[in-house]
Amino acid sequence: MRTMEQMNGIVQKLKAAESILLFPHINMDGDALGSSVALCLALRQMGKTCSILIEDDIPDYLKFMDKGYCIAHADHIPDISLAVDCGDVSRIENRREVFYAASNTACIDHHLLHADFAQDCFVDPEAAATGVLVFKLLKELGVECTPEIADALYVAIMTDTGSFRYANTDRQVHLIIAELYECGLTHVPLCNAIYDNIPLSQIKLEAKALENLEIFAGNKACISYATLEMIKGANATPDQSENMIDRLRSIKDVEVAIFLKEKPDGNYKVSFRAKSYADVGSLAYRLGGGGHQKASGCTVEGPLENALCILKDAVQEELNR
């Protein structure tokens, strides 16, 4: 059991450390932030100095989770730098220097194509979310699972499993959630904050993106996008297009959904989702990105027409495999 050894290695180091900095990946999602918050609370409970170092804004729908745990600048070099839900060092790019300044580096992650960029990595690509691994780690650390920790882990696991609908949802996930209820989990306010709290500007941006929707590959794939102009026109922020990909994935007969978001440099951040048989993880990898079999991403060069062309060809090819 290699993952058990990996976990024990990190447990020993965390127990011995006095200060730990947590590094969730850029473009934080519910798993990266939820797992980090749970770890932060647990390590503080153990009497450690711990904060979450971030390099970009917390997306609006997750802001309620940060009760003073996140910092934008490190005020000291920690004993341990711990990357969270992060498969590659490029996802902590602007914090790299601080990360490697610590005498110990570690990571906890569940990405399929994980690059070992730290001394101690606890990685299990079978885990539905990093939150699942954090749950196990906290048990080993012997911390008390408080209602706040339970809420944070719930957000991590719920968001990465698409509210317990994706293929990564399994018996273990539900058993963990059952235990979180015993810790005092209250899920309704969390679901309301995350799913029923959408700004009107976001809905307007989604309407614009749906107008550009294109179905191809014999109805098996669909593609849409948000340009900076569209985002501005809807009075929205770039992160407000983040949920579009799930909307596209929900279309009848569609196996692969693709969504592009223009970046300030004119290139495009691309998200992929697959429903049942396609492997968008290796597809993204071939395009220089990464992720999981059913959820992945990459960056493609603009202009838009060029990006759309490359992606449609790549998806067509993947579907023909």
Q: Could you tell me which stretch among 5-13, 64-72, 79-87, 257-265 binds Mn ion (CB under 5 A)?
A: 79-87
Give the H/E segment covering residue 297: strand 295-300
Q: How far is the CB of 101 from Mn ion (least distance, A)?
A: 25
Comparing CB distances to Mn ion, the nearer of 66 and 215 is 66
- What residues contact residue 103 under an 8 Å CB cut-off, 6+ apart? 79
Q: How far is the CB of 220 from Mn ion (least distance, A)?
A: 26
Comparing CB distances to Mn ion, the nearer of 29 and 318 is 29
Q: How far is the CB of 292 from Mn ion (least distance, A)?
A: 8
Comparing CB distances to Mn ion, the nearer of 30 and 238 is 30
Comparing CB distances to Mn ion, the nearer of 85 and 318 is 85
Comparing CB distances to Mn ion, the nearer of 35 and 224 is 35
Please tell me what DSSP assigns to residue 183. T
**Amino acid letter at 25?**
H
Counting contacts by CB under 5 A, is residue 160 touching Mn ion? Answer: yes
Comparing CB distances to Mn ion, the nearer of 48 and 91 is 91
Counting contacts by CB under 5 A, is residue 31 touching Mn ion? Answer: yes
Q: Report the C-alpha gap between 238 and 246 in whole angstroms.
A: 16
Comparing CB distances to Mn ion, the nearer of 53 and 133 is 133
Q: Report the C-alpha gap between 80 and 238 in whole angstroms.
A: 33
Q: Could you tell me which stretch among 83-91, 197-205, 236-244, 248-256 binds Mn ion (CB under 5 A)?
A: 83-91
C-beta nearest to Mn ion: residue: 31
Q: Could you tell me which stretch among 36-44, 128-136, 290-298, 309-317 binds Mn ion (CB under 5 A)?
A: 128-136
Please tell me what DSSP assigns to residue 1. -
Burial 244-273 (b: 16+ CB within 10 A, else e): bbbbbbeeeebbbbbbbbbeeeeebbbbbb
Quick check: 302 and 266 in contact, CB under 8 A?
yes
Counting contacts by CB under 5 A, is residue 124 touching Mn ion? Answer: no
Give the H/E segment covering residue 198: none
Q: How far is the CB of 205 from Mn ion (least distance, A)?
A: 24
Q: Give 185's Cβ-side CA count (13 Å radius).
A: 22
Give the H/E segment covering residue 37: helix 30-45
Burial class for 170, CB neighbours closer than 10 Å (0-12, 13-18, 19+): middle
Q: How far is the CB of 28 from Mn ion (least distance, A)?
A: 10
Counting contacts by CB under 5 A, is residue 85 touching Mn ion? Answer: yes
Counting contacts by CB under 5 A, is residue 109 touching Mn ion? Answer: no
Interaction site with Mn ion (CB under 5 A):
31, 85, 130, 160
